[in-house]
Amino acid sequence: MNKLILLIFISILSSSFACEKGKAYPDETFPEIEIKTSMGDIVVELDRDRAPITVNNFLKYVKSGAFKDTIFHRVEKDFVIQGGGYLKGYKEVVSCGKIFNESGNGLKNTRGTIAMARYDDPHSATSQFYFNLIDTPSLDPNAKNWGYTVFGEVVEGMEILDAISQVRVGYSKKIDSTSVPIEAITILEIKIL
């Protein structure tokens, strides 16, 4: 019984830590992160100048270790690779809540950029992010639709994303998706450089 109480306490403590208020790493306007994956490493420069809410949100997840042992759960060749939502076994990452959509920041969904995934509600992004494998102007904002917030760009490791884009995918009943890698591609950790 005591072990169960301790596990619940640790779970609550780690969840609240992940969702702390305020900036994570406030002195960096263009922080670089390294995403260590089971297929290789990717370095991304984030743009806090143009997407401060989004970058701060993302760095809170990084700082808390929430992305450790998550998976890329969506791989669509010649489109996007998406992660940040599920741990191995498809358990959802604990959400810190929805954030404001900053898609009108001037950054475009071009090859090699990182952006926030969301639902139809334009302000529904939480922890999930994606990489653009090609230029995708349909994901940018326009006069009729909110876009998807771009908040950084790959500076090293685009060849890793290209390799991930080639993996076999199939249907997963657990998340009701047809673009899930057959063999899991794991995000081992994300760290600030």
Tokens of 73: 């759960």
CA distance 184 to 132: 20
Question: For residues 129 and 7, what is the distance between their CA atoms, to the nearest angstrom?
Answer: 29
Query: How many Å apart are CA 185 and CA 112, to the nearest integer?
Result: 18
| Distance, CA of 45 to CA of 87 (rounded, Å) | 24
Under DSSP, is residue 126 helix (H, G, I), strand (E, B) or coil?
coil
| pLDDT score, position 20 | 64
**Both tokens assigned to 29:** 């306007």
Tokens of 123: 């302000």
2-192, which class in CATH? mainly beta
pLDDT at 182: 96
> In sequence order, what are the residues at sequence separation of 6 or more whose Cβ sits closer than 8 angstroms to the Cβ of residue 78?
133, 134, 165
Query: Whose CA is closest to 137, among 126, 147, 152?
Result: 147
Which pLDDT does position 28 carry in this prediction?
Answer: 80
Considering the chain, what is the average pLDDT of its residues? 90
Mind listing the pLDDT tens digit for each residue in 28-50?
889 999 999 999 999 999 999 99
Rounded to an integer, what distance in angstroms lies between the CA atom of residue 112 and that of residue 144? 25
pLDDT for res 175 = 95
Give the integer Cα–Cα distance in Å for 115 and 148.
7
User: Which stretches in the chain have pLDDT values below 50?
Assistant: 1-17
pTM of the model: 0.88
